[in-house]
Amino acid sequence: MKKIILLFLSLNLVFAQLDSPARSLTIYKDNFALVNEPIVWNLKLGRNISSFTNISQNLLFDSPVLSVEGVQVLSQTLNRNFSSTDAFLKNNIGAAVEVKPNDGSNVQGILMDYNGSTISIKTNKGLVVFQRSQLSYFTLKSSTVQDKFTPEIRWEIISDEDKSVNADLSYITSGFSWKPIYTLTINNSDSSAMLSINAEVSNNSNVNLFALDLSVVEGNVPLHSSRKNSSSYQMVESRGSAMENRAMLGDFYIFNLGKNLNLDAMQTIQLPMMKTRNISYDKKYIYKNSEREQGDGPLSVEVSFENSIENNLELPLPSGILYLYEKNVTGGLSFLGRNGLSQLYKGGTAILDGGKAFDVIGKRRILNFDRQTNSEESTISIQIINTSDKSIKVKAIENIIGDWVIKESSSMYIKEDASTIYFPLEIEAGASELITYTYKKEWK
């Protein structure tokens, strides 16, 4: 009979939750979240004291807001008098305990020490130290456990009749975080790539959340009233672009990751933010030097892609971590590196570090250097050797400081700014390119 009653109560709870508003969690980039908890109360005529305890220990204590209709809420009381499980057990050192190792029988004794990784128990055989991760359960033999381990909110409510009401509790809490995880897989045989993005969501709080509508927000929302100490990164340029599961939240973007999800305490999960997309990328070999440098060395590999309609993107891409892979001739993947991707607006270009080239070498020599009282002249040679079996694009960058001019150059160059020129090159497989140029500086 007892089992039937418990089953009936469980079914009532499930159906009540299905009829109530959805539980939701919105996580911001500043490691905090907005939690919306649906609550169902069966109220009696007159005065009622109702409470809720499934609350994160990290909540901002002045943030809870209750939305409920058809009743009068006289007061809201937040009980902050709670302690952690670790603190409670430390206060009970010397008490009788029982532990069950994963691969052994129960052990009884006296609790001697309790910390983040181990439990020490005095038994009739001596002191035994257990790793917490290797225990099935841990029992404190006490019938008077009065401490609270979570906050509790109580409301004094007046109802004009016996009835069931749906309420919605909202509060802000730390202990939740998210970051985008990008994966870019480039094709070694052409300029095509596959781009996917997941949201990595972490619940570092003490609450288990189930049947959850989960969203994440790109942008930094200030939690303090002082504008001097707050910052926000607005993605205004990407307004109006189309993206799955995306909506506007003021000057920020909100991404909906899914409904009816579970997120347990101390759990980290990854969920897709958008469908995998076919895009084009550009791969260049970079050889960067300044005036007096000379020597031999491999070129750096630079991979870039545009966030544009033409490239099947034009999306608000949040700042995150990007893993770069290359598909090899056998269909397997080679890892090229891990990059931080800055917030990428519509029309922007992502530039990624692909490491060092194995078979593309640069050689730089100072062929002539003549310094006079009011002038300086130098002749530089740059040789790029492509020992690979493919043609490559190279950007040979030269930094020159001061008031300078290029007197002569064997190859076309582009002046990028007041102290930078570069030579755009295309070098066939197994070939090399030799550049010589002379610059002159003058001063008073």
CATH of the domain at 97: 2.30.30.100
Summarised one tens digit per residue, pLDDT across range 368-389 is 999 998 999 999 999 999 999 9
For 180-218, the pLDDT digits (tens) are 999 999 987 789 999 999 999 999 888 889 899 999 998
d(CA 301, CA 356) in angstroms, rounded, equals 6
Q: What percent of the chain has pLDDT over 70?
A: 84
| Judgement on whether residues 395 and 418 belong to the same structural domain of the protein | yes
From the centroid of its chain, how far is CA 76?
35
Q: Is the pLDDT of residue 393 over 60?
A: yes
Does one domain contain both 368 and 381?
Answer: yes
Q: Decide: pTM greater than 0.95.
A: no
212 vs 88: CA distance, rounded Å: 31
Distances (CA, A) of 228 to 220, 225, 231, 373: 14, 9, 8, 51
Look at 149 and 387; give whichever has higher pLDDT.
Answer: 387
Shared-domain flag, residues 160 and 128: no
Mean pLDDT on 416-444 = 95
Q: Is residue 69 included in any domain, yes or no?
A: yes
Section 80-87 average pLDDT: 62
Mean pLDDT of all residues in the chain? Answer: 84
**Residue partners of 150: CB distance under 8 A and separation at least 6:** 53, 54, 55, 57, 82, 206, 207
Which residues span the domain enclosing 427? 287-298+356-442
The structure tokens listed for 357 are 């080239």
pLDDT the model gives residue 13: 37
Least trusted range by pLDDT, from 103-112, 147-156, 330-339: 147-156
Question: Token pair of 108, please?
Answer: 């009884």
Tokens of 14: 């499930």
Phi-psi region of 31 (alpha: psi -120 to 50; beta: other; left: phi over 0): left
Number of domains in the chain: 3
* pLDDT tens-digit map of 291-330: 999 999 999 999 999 999 999 997 888 889 999 999 877 7
Q: What are the tens digits of pLDDT across the range 242-258?
A: 344 555 455 678 899 99
Q: What is the pLDDT of residue 227?
A: 45
Integer-rounded Cα Rg, in Å, for the chain is 32
CATH number at residue 152: 2.60.40
- Shared domain check, 398 and 362: yes
- Residue 113's nearest CA partner among 136, 90, 133 is 90
- Residue 373 and residue 293 in one domain: yes
Instruction: Report the CATH number that the domain containing residue 419 is assigned in CATH.
Output: 2.60.40.290
pLDDT band at 11 (very low <50, low <70, confident <90, very high): very low
Q: Are 134 and 71 in a shared domain? A: no
- 23-41: pLDDT as tens digits: 999 999 888 999 999 999 9
Indicate if the pLDDT at residue 147 is higher than 80. no
**What is the pLDDT averaged over residues 398-417?**
95
Same domain as 170, residue 49: yes
349 has pLDDT over 70 = yes
